[in-house]
Amino acid sequence: MNSLSKRERLEATIAGKAVDRPAVALWRHWPVDDQRAEDLARSTLDFQRAFDFDFIKVTPASNYCLAGWGAESRWVGNQEGTR
């Protein structure tokens, strides 16, 4: 089997077809940069450029959905971004 592009690999995987290798990605939290969309996007893209994974997972703060309800959070140094 010839080497697939990232998109072809993901599409084939989702369709249940054979692929040349499993799609690979790693992700992490950006506990300071996740407070502003622009900073989160920059950090995520820099990480992708450095490692060239098959796909990108955007990883906002775990409680991002609560801000719309008026909740506030504070990061106190946890390396995984836990607030």
Span 8-56, pLDDT tens digits:
999 999 999 999 999 999 999 998 898 889 999 999 999 999 999 999 9
State yes or no: pLDDT of 1 exceeds 80. no
**Does any domain span residue 37?**
yes
State the residue range of the domain holding 42: 6-69
In a domain, 82, yes or no: no
Do the Cβ atoms of 57 and 39 come closer than 8 Å?
no
Residue from 16, 18, 10 nearest 54 by CA: 10
pTM of the model: 0.77
Secondary structure, 3-state, 38-65: HHHHHHHHHHHHHHCCCCCCCCCCCCHH
| Spatial CA neighbour of 57 closest among 65, 47, 67 | 47
Task: Report yes or no on 79 lying in a domain.
Answer: no
Size (the chain), residues: 83
Domain count, the chain: 1
**What was the pLDDT predicted at 72?**
83
